[in-house]
Amino acid sequence: MFSLKNKTAIVTGGGSGIGKAIAKLFAKQEATVYILDFDEAGAAQTVTEITTDGGKAQSYKCDVSNQAQVKEIIDSIANSAGNIDILINNAGVAHVGNAENTSEEDFTRLFNVNVKGVYNCLHAALPYLKLNGGSILNMASIASAVGIPDRFAYSMTKGAVVGMTLSTAKDYIAFNVRCNCISPARVHTPFVDGFLAKNYPGKEKEMFEKLSKGQPIGRMAEPTDIAFLVLYLCSDEASFITGCDYPIDGGFIKLNN
C-alpha cells in the first residue's frame, strides 16, 4: 500500500522540516523526488540522506516567488523525467505580527513566497500533470480556519492557499488531477527552535513545553506526522479524494475550548 513506484514528485521547501520529511518518505516509497529549495545546502543534504538510503532524488536551488525560474526548473524536470505525477507546494515563510505592526515589506514577502510561490508552481506544473493525471498537495495551516494571535500576514497567505486548492481541484477534475491541502497546527521544525532561541534565550525548554501544551493532544506534531498524511493523499489509495482541506492539529480546532 501507498507505493509511489515509478512516480515523479516535486517537493518545494524540501531542505528542512516538513518538506524534508515528505521528500524522504516519498523516496522510501520509491518515488523519484525533485527538491526545490532556496536553501541549496539544506536541499543537497536531503538528497544525500535519500540517496545514501538507496532512494532517488535531485535538488535545485529555487526561489518559488520567481516565476521564470520556477518554470525553467519544472520544464527541465518534466523533460528529463518524462512526466510529473505529484506536486507538493510546501515552501513557505512565517511571520509574527498583527495588522498594525506588520510592515508592507513583510506583508509582500509573505505573499510572494506563500501565495505567489504556490501559484507559480501550479502554473508551471499543471500542463504536465494534466497529461496523465496526478496529485497536488498544498500546505495550508490551521491559521486559515481559526484566529491565532499575531499571525495576520501568515493567516492571509494560508487562507489564500485553501482558496487556490479548491479552485484548482474544480478546474482540473476532468483531467484526473486531484488537489488537496492540509492544515497543520504547530509542528516542531527548525523554525520553532530558532524562534525560541531568538525570543526566549535561556528559557527555550520552558517555552517549548508551554507551546506543546497549547495543543490539546499535549505535544507538537513531528514533521513525520505531517508527511504520513501527505503520502496518503498523494497515493493511489486516495484516488477518490479531491478539493479537501484536512486539519492535522492534535485536536486544536475542535477541542481547544
Is residue 102 within 8 Å of residue 156, measured between CB atoms? no
Q: Distance (Å, rounded) from C-alpha 185 to C-alpha 117?
A: 21
Q: Find residue 9's DSSP bridge partners.
A: 33, 86
Per the annotation, the verdict on 154 as an active-site residue is yes
Is residue 133 within 8 Å of residue 121, measured between CB atoms? no
**Cα dihedral 53/58/60/65 (nearest 10):** -90
226 — phi, psi (to 5°)? -70, -40
Interior angle at CA 81, CA 78 and CA 86, nearest 5: 70
Q: Pick the catalytic residue: 60, 119, 154, 172?
A: 154
Considering all CA atoms of the chain, what is the largest pairwise distance in Å, rounded to the nearest integer? Answer: 55
Closest CA to 117 of 87, 85, 78: 87
Question: Could you tell me the three cell numbers for 64?
Answer: 518559488
Question: For 158, what's the count of Cα atoms within 13 Å in the CB-facing half-sphere?
Answer: 27
Is residue 9 within 8 Å of residue 88, measured between CB atoms? yes
Active site residues: 154
